[in-house]
Structure 1
Amino acid sequence: MKQKFRSISIILLLNVLFANQVTSACAYCIKPEAPKIIKQSAEASKKLSWKLLEDIKYEERWNDEIESYYFYPIFNKKLKALQGQEVHITGYMIPIDVEAEFYVLSAFPFANCFFCGAAGPESVITIKFLGNTSEYHTDDRVTITGTLRLNADNINELNYILDNAKEYKYAVD
């Protein structure tokens, strides 16, 4: 029960931090260029890009649970078409709660101001691994494959979730 409460608390904290996004860029945030991927073993799945995930709108609605207005995502047609599909995406691993196996994949490294105004809820995906997980460290760059689930209503979860997730190794030059 403590682990579930801790996980929900962390998700709520992430949502609160992202709900009132700063529109100006953080002076300390540097968005690194992605390394070239030479070989990737995720051919069976569809590539999911961070650019596509950024193409999202929000609708402000009242939420009785938190007794406040909340920004709910409105997903575009391309994202809706990927709902329930196996996809792969490369990003930076952020182990939120290792004991509870709660991991987030981010478009940006944590060390480069993940929580500043330059990043929003569209820049992170909850990773729900299939079976045992490898040991991940903050900012490990990985390619993850899983079934995409779009979350438009549950404020205790992030907008994007990869279920039955697995890691794929890749090489960079």
Structure 2
Amino acid sequence: MRFLVLLCFLAFSAVAVGQSAAAAVWDDLSKVTYEKKYDELLGFKVDVPVFGKDVKALEGKVIEISGYIVPVEGYKSHNEFVFSAYPYNMCFFCGGAGPETVMEVQAKEPVKYRTERITLRGKLRLNNDNINQLMYLLEDAEQVLTK
């Protein structure tokens, strides 16, 4: 009986640690400020992200991050989508959070839309110069299946 209780505790701890590690990535990604820069093409100043050292340390690294698929207009495919730290009703596009809480995803294999939280693994790329993309991009992403 004690062995079974210990085994259940260890399994729960591993899941909790994995989820808290993925949540810690969103915490790191929130360490961004903005500065105004003049955009020649648009003809006015735009907010440009200035990434903190914790964010810069993640550039080009493979990360695991948990969140929600956001159904946005122009949703291209199950391979390219927007991913959010928060559910749809609280995400950046609904006005409930900042732009640091969403990222563009390019997945290796299609990821089926669902409303539940999922975990993705992929290479993080930072964007502070293309205003037509989000500031965070997750490339070669794969869904991490939990048991």
Q: 1:134 aligns with which of 96, 100, 111?
A: 111
2:120 aligned partner, one-letter code: I
**What is the match of residue 102 of structure 1?**
80
Match for residue 163 of structure 1 among 115, 119, 139: 139
Of the three residues 79, 84, 103, the one matched with 1:125 is 103
Instruction: Check if 1:151 corresponds to 2:127.
Output: yes
Residues 59-102 of structure 1, C-alpha deviation per residue, up to 9 Å, x if partnerless? 10111122221100011111111111100110111143144843
| Identity between Structure 1 and Structure 2 (%) | 35
Q: TM-score, normalised by structure 2?
A: 0.77
List aligned pairs for 1:1-173, cutoff 5 A.
Answer: 38-39=14-15, 47=22, 49-96=25-72, 97-99=75-77, 101-112=79-90, 114-130=92-108, 132-137=109-114, 139-170=115-146
C-alpha displacement at 1:113, in angstroms? 5.6
Select the structure that is richer in helix.
Answer: 2
Residue-by-residue CA offset, 1:89-142 (whole Å, 9 max, x unaligned): 101111431448431110111123643443111010111111x313213x3311
Q: Greater Rg, structure 1 or structure 2?
A: 2
Q: What letter corresponds to residue 86 of structure 1 in structure 2? A: V
- 2:90–2:96 Cα contact (<8 Å) kept: no
Aligned structure 1 segments of 4 or more residues deviating by more than 2 angstroms: 36-40, 98-102, 111-118
TM-score w.r.t. the length of structure 1 is: 0.66
Q: CA RMSD in A?
A: 2.4
Distance in 2 separating the partners of 1:136 and 1:68: 37
Unaligned runs of 5+ in 1: 1-35
Q: How many Å apart are 1:156 and its aligned residue?
A: 0.8
Residue 37 of structure 1 and its aligned partner are, at CA, apart by 7.7
Offset at residue 49 of structure 1 (A): 1.8
Say if 1:85 and 1:113 are closer, same or farther in 2 by CA, change over 3 A: closer
- Going from structure 1 to structure 2, the CA distance change for 1:39 and 1:158 (only over 3 Å counts) comes to same
Give the paired residue count: 130
Amino acid at match of 1:169: L
Task: Determine which structure has greater relative contact order: mean sequence separation of CA pairs < 8 Å that are 6+ residues apart, divided by chain length.
Answer: 1
Question: Any idea what SS the aligned residue of 1:79 has?
Answer: helix
